Amino acid sequence: NIPDDELMEMIEEADRSGDGSISFDEFYRVMRRNTTCSTANLLDDFDSDEDLLCSDLPDVMQGLLNSNAGVVETVANQGRRPRVLVPIRLFLFATSMLVAGLVFYIGHFTHSDVLAFGAMRFWGKFAVFCLGVIPELSADPAAPKPEELTNRSHVIVADHISFVEVLYLLSVYLPAFVGKFPLKKAPLIGDCMRYLDCIFVNRLVGKKSTPTTELLKAHVVSPEDLRPLLLFPEGTTSNGTALITFHTGAFCLGKTVLPVAVWYPDFVRGRMFDPHWSYGSIITFVIGMMAQPYTKMHVHVMAPVTPKQGENPQDFSERVRSLLGKEIGIPLIDGDYKDKVRLKRLVAAGLLTSNDVYDYARESLGSKKKIN
């Protein structure tokens, strides 16, 4: 057992900011450096390959604070869990993709929407399950049902916090997305996107292409029976602490907008794996999500919002952003993709650690915060 005074010294050393908040991976490193700490030796012996995840450490920490009672069992259980869940979920993820892909191609070549759409709807929902995410769907009484939406009736907009909500909303709405032009020729993914009437944009410098806004307008006025359009007006993924500035593409089409709010209600930063994928390796994100027993994701379909007479796209987008922020319970920040790139460069240069990103972002953008 670790003496209380020795444990408190390690906690104080791990509390780099001095505000009482402790980074679990930093605490883990402090324990490893302390050669007199038998529990650190226990962790080293158990975690010989040093792959104990940061998301495992809250329970380990709790065991230490409870007079170190049962820490051996806690560490063992937390270490085994990722080893069991990850390979099983990876196998199910890959197998379901192969099966769904086969069914999709059968439906594609036989012109069967039932098979093609059914395969995509199934895989979108099952992939979310394989990532350990439990979606909770709710809707405003005024919200239209998915089958009532067309390309001419509404434009769906949602906050963008990872690719998980993309998969889930795929299973709910089977919408058309905006994707990069190279995806059009990608095996399976490109075929699925074309079947969903997705819009492909070419952003390469020097290439002549139709402006994205014109492509969006052509989609929402087309007399053909196309899939409803789903856009993420933030233009990039964010970390769920605020809504960044909206692009106006979805709000200059003259169409009623259907806002969809997505958030993780039980997420506590530092106590579990972060389900928001705003930067970093997608492989690390997938493994981290699969290693966690489960993550609750709430999806709320809000009441449709119609542009007011004489309202410009900027004001319309701000009105919808305010409604989404209020529904999720987060502030509005005048940040954009450039701020995200700046943070990435600081982390890559070693001037900022991943654990400090959120505090740095709040401080650097705090003066731009708006009230919902």
One domain for residues 305 and 359: yes
**Closest by CA position to 254, among listed 192, 324, 173, 309:** 309
One domain for residues 165 and 137: yes
Q: Where is the domain boundary, 37, 59, 81?
A: 81
86/131 Cα distance (integer angstroms): 9
Q: Where is the domain boundary, 50, 81, 112?
A: 81
One domain for residues 152 and 212: yes
115/107 Cα distance (integer angstroms): 5
pLDDT of residue 5: 56
In the structure, what pLDDT confidence band is assigned to residue 77 with cuts at 50, 70 and 90? very low
CA distance from start to end of the chain:
49
For the chain, give the mean pLDDT: 79
Alpha helix segments (H runs only) across 261-336:
282-291, 313-328
The structural domain count of the chain equals 2
pLDDT of residue 209: 58
pLDDT of residue 121: 97
pLDDT of residue 52: 41
One domain for residues 92 and 222: yes
47-59 pLDDT, tens digit each:
444 444 444 444 4
Residue whose token pair is 């999500």 = 289
Let me know: does 146 contact 165? Beta carbons within 8 Å.
Answer: no
In the structure, what pLDDT confidence band is assigned to residue 202 with cuts at 50, 70 and 90? confident
In this model, does residue 124 exceed pLDDT 90?
yes
In the structure, what pLDDT confidence band is assigned to residue 220 with cuts at 50, 70 and 90? very high
139-148 pLDDT, tens digit each:
999 999 999 9
In this model, does residue 369 exceed pLDDT 60?
no
In the three-class reduction of DSSP (H, G, I as helix; E, B as strand; rest coil), residue 301 is classed as: strand
One domain for residues 181 and 117: yes
One domain for residues 111 and 226: yes
In this model, does residue 62 exceed pLDDT 90?
no
One domain for residues 271 and 144: yes
One domain for residues 51 and 130: no
Q: Where is the domain boundary, 17, 48, 81?
A: 81
One domain for residues 70 and 146: no
Q: In degrees, to the nearest 5, what angle opens at C-alpha 370 toward C-alphas 351 and 266?
A: 70
pLDDT of residue 278: 74
In this model, does residue 347 exceed pLDDT 80?
no
Beta strands 133-139 and 229-231 are: unpaired
Per-residue pLDDT, averaged over 224-236, amounts to 93
In this model, does residue 111 exceed pLDDT 90?
yes
Q: Residue 288 belongs to what domain range?
A: 82-370
Per-residue pLDDT, averaged over 162-169, amounts to 95
In this model, does residue 21 exceed pLDDT 80?
no
In this model, does residue 1 exceed pLDDT 50?
no
Instruction: Rank 9-23, 166-180, 239-253 by mean pLDDT and report only the highest.
Output: 166-180
One domain for residues 74 and 87: no
Beta strands 133-139 and 256-263 are: unpaired
One domain for residues 41 and 176: no
Alpha carbon distances (Å) from 68 to 13, 15, 132: 19, 20, 30
One domain for residues 77 and 104: no
Rg (CA), the chain: 23
What b/e string do you get for 274-297 counting C-beta neighbours within 10 Å, with b at 16 or more?
bbbbbbeeeeebbbbbbbbeebeb
pLDDT of residue 339: 72
- Provide CB contacts within 8 A for 323, sequence distance 6+: 259, 302, 305
CA max distance for the chain: 74
Lowest-pLDDT range of 13-27, 205-219, 334-348: 13-27
274-308 pLDDT, tens digit each:
899 877 778 888 998 999 999 999 999 999 999 99
pLDDT of residue 175: 97
